[in-house]
Amino acid sequence: MTTAHPGPAAPAYFSHGLAARTSSSSVEIDGGKVAFWTYEPLHAGPETRTILVIHGFRGDHHGLLRVADQLPDMRIIMPDLPGFGDSEAFASGEHSVERYGSFITGFMAALGLGPDTVLLGHSFGSIIAAHFVANHPGTVNPLILINPIAAPALEGPKGVMTRLAVLYYRLAARLPRQLGLALLRSPLIVRVMSETMAKTADRDLRRFIHDQHNAYFSAFASRDSLLESFTASVSSHVAEVAGRLTLPVLLIAGEKDEIAVLPDQHRLAALLPDGELKVIPGVGHLIHYETPEPAASSIRSFLKDHPA
């Protein structure tokens, strides 16, 4: 195993202890390489849990590092989803929510992760995690969703922007390869996206967020796999399986989230048989970058209330 580097601007936004906890490895699942990172607890105790983290669309394991850093008493495992980061795309089959669920099954089996594993999903990862749990009850316990996609992306006020994004990804997939990749990896488009989602007024933190998106937002395997994943991200949501999530579920929402808006989070929480909603004020869809401390505090408290 090798030591992973947390990425740009790491000294300012990551603890010195994070590197000591970190190891990287890979495993072959269904004929494809999956890269993953493990963050061992600095001080394991009776409340130490293993948390499997599923990142969001166009992200990789770097996105949740600040949250992992705030949980030094937990064992955290973060794969790059197939088609993103250092993981290969699926060798066969679409990059759909169902296929990613099958990936979780294979990944857990390969690492020997049992039903006491905590599953955490962010954004698109919340859709994958929720559908996986709905289709495989008893496989993990409990479930934590950060900035969960609580309602259909193509409906409501944000539907127009979602349709524009659909056109963007379809166009990029149909253009000649180099032109299509240039469009998808355009620094200007990535920066506009980053500026739109960031809510903090802290200039240094905004710079850090932009650096992270610039470094990792364009690490995808191919235009086809990216389009498939994007289509999956706007075609499903958590609420459609909420009634089947019978285990304890923690929702961590951002007050100013314009992608997963707060009214939808309250409606989702009401649909859950055993749900709890924590709202972090002043933050949008980037809880994992902007407010990792209160997010980690909510996670720790929730796990204490729901021991293995």
Dihedral Cα 267, 268, 271, 272, nearest 10 deg: -140
Q: Residue 133: which residues within 8 A CB-CB, separation 6 or more?
A: 119, 139, 140, 143, 241, 244, 245, 247
SS (H, E, C) 154-172: CCCCCHHHHHHHHHHHHHH
Each of the 308 residues of the chain gets a pLDDT tens digit; together they read: 344 455 544 447 999 899 999 999 999 998 899 999 999 999 889 999 999 999 999 999 999 999 999 999 999 999 999 999 999 999 988 999 999 999 999 999 999 999 999 999 999 999 999 999 999 999 999 999 999 999 987 666 667 678 888 899 999 999 999 999 999 999 999 999 999 999 999 999 999 999 999 999 999 999 999 999 999 999 999 999 999 999 999 999 999 999 999 999 999 999 999 999 999 999 999 999 999 999 999 999 999 999 98
Q: Which of 206, 63, 38, 37 is nearest to 123 (CA)?
A: 63
Please name every residue paired with 26 in a beta bridge, in sequence order, or none if there are none. Answer: 35
The structure's pTM equals: 0.94
Question: Are 290 and 205 a contacting pair, CB within 8 Å?
Answer: yes
